[in-house]
Amino acid sequence: MKAIYYDQPGSPDVLQVVNSEIPVPNDNQILIKVMAAGVNRPDVIQRQGNYPPPENHSPILGLEVSGYIEKIGKNVKNFSLNNKVAALVNGGGYAEFCLAEQESTFKIPGDLSFNEAACIPECYFTAWSNLVQRGRLTKNQKVLIHGGTSGIGIAAIQIAKIFNSYIITTVGNEEKAKFCKNLGVNEVINYKKQDFFEIIKKSDVKNVNLILDYVGGEYILKNINLLDTEGTLVNIGFLEGSTAQINLMKIMLKRLQITGSTLRIRSNKFKGQVLSELKKFVFPLLVERKIMCFVDSVFKFDDVIKAHERIDEGKHIGKIILNP
């Protein structure tokens, strides 16, 4: 099969299409004939050599796929050959065939296309588990979501809307600001022109109950200072660095929670629990298209370098998709 591989980490041009063995599913796994694979920021960080795959995970990039079931292990229940599915996978997505665990595989909701379905797993598992499970999001809270047009940001905004949240987001240009406004965000701040901390503090909103952040760096203290009493900061990445000098007094006095998580290393059982909540609360809205999958661009495997140049450039809105 064709798969995308690299010998040495580096810039997008290290990526190359190679021939590789078709993987063989164990008794609990599903082999998917890939029709679409999502490109995510963690793939970029892995390509750069800063996010090595955990032990026993495929060294091939790609954390989510959609396609047809090609083979199933003998203990797999509720799926049959040729089912149209999507899956959160432990690497190996940038390939014509990919192994998936049954716990994190699902039938494609409604009439979503393969490209749309490949937008779902990584971002919705991550956004749901961090906003709702770690962040304990409840109805009518004020929520700050940094980087609103990223795959994660768009998923998080649409999940927060289910909870009737007052949503604030940060973006890097006016086109992205307009997109987020159209998505129903209450306040969009162009962080390149304005300081999000100052804007929120001076507005009627003043503070927020929950923050989802993957920027870190100088955002860490600003985030903590923006949290209301009993507020929660959830970090799922640190694009600008993960260290800060923090006065824990504020955390004690405001009874704050500072938390975070990474999805890839979590157990199949955990991923299965997240999927069961997504099926209940998110998939019906995907079927009705009240929650949308926004495909920024689609690239053939042979153009994988262009796909990674696009994500590196950061101008995308929504998801970049690869087709074998």
Would strands 227-235 and 257-260 be described as parallel, antiparallel, or unpaired?
parallel
Contacts of 2 (CB under 8 A, 6+ apart): 17, 18, 19, 20, 95, 96, 301, 324
**Calpha distance 61→45 (Å, rounded):** 10
Q: Which two tokens stand for residue 56?
A: 């026993």
Q: Which two tokens stand for residue 139?
A: 């109805």
Does residue 52 belong to the site contacting ligand NAP (CB under 6 A)? no
Helix (H, G, I), strand (E, B) or coil at 228: strand
Does residue 94 belong to the site contacting ligand NAP (CB under 6 A)? no
User: Judged by CB, which is closer to ligand NAP: 44, or 285?
Assistant: 44
Does residue 314 belong to the site contacting ligand NAP (CB under 6 A)? yes
Closest distance to ligand NAP from the beta carbon of 283 (Å): 19
Single residue of 96, 103, 122, 187 touching ligand NAP by CB under 6 A: 122
DSSP 110: T
What x/- string results for residues 238 through 277 when contact with ligand NAP is judged by CB under 6 A?
-xx--------------------xxx--------------
Does residue 151 belong to the site contacting ligand NAP (CB under 6 A)? yes
Measured from the Cβ of residue 158, the count of other Cβ atoms closer than 10 Å reads: 23
CB 184 within 8 Å of CB 167: yes
Single residue of 236, 278, 291, 322 touching ligand NAP by CB under 6 A: 236
**Calpha distance 218→216 (Å, rounded):** 6
**Calpha distance 278→272 (Å, rounded):** 10
Closest distance to ligand NAP from the beta carbon of 213 (Å): 8
Tokens 């965000």 belong to residue: 185
Would strands 64-72 and 84-88 be described as parallel, antiparallel, or unpaired?
antiparallel
Single residue of 214, 283, 299, 301 touching ligand NAP by CB under 6 A: 214
Tokens 């690239």 belong to residue: 299
Total site size for ligand NAP, rule CB under 6 A: 29
Closest distance to ligand NAP from the beta carbon of 179 (Å): 10
User: Judged by CB, which is closer to ligand NAP: 35, or 171?
Assistant: 171
Beta bridge partners of 86: 66, 106
Single residue of 23, 42, 91, 121 touching ligand NAP by CB under 6 A: 42
Closest distance to ligand NAP from the beta carbon of 279 (Å): 20
Question: Which window, 34-42, 106-114, 203-211, 298-306, contacts ligand NAP (CB under 6 A)?
Answer: 34-42
- Measured CA to CA in angstroms, residue 219 lies from 197, 209, 211, 237, 249 at distances of 9, 16, 11, 12, 18
Contacts of 241 (CB under 8 A, 6+ apart): 216, 217
Does residue 47 belong to the site contacting ligand NAP (CB under 6 A)? no
**Calpha distance 96→276 (Å, rounded):** 27
Closest distance to ligand NAP from the beta carbon of 59 (Å): 18
User: Judged by CB, which is closer to ligand NAP: 76, or 157?
Assistant: 157
Question: Which window, 4-12, 141-149, 198-206, 275-283, contacts ligand NAP (CB under 6 A)?
Answer: 141-149
What x/- string results for residues 164 through 193 when contact with ligand NAP is judged by CB under 6 A?
------xxxx--x--------------x--
Closest distance to ligand NAP from the beta carbon of 185 (Å): 13
**Interface residue list for ligand NAP (CB under 6 A):** 40-42, 45, 122, 126, 146-147, 149-152, 170-173, 176, 191, 214-215, 236-237, 239-240, 261-263, 311, 314
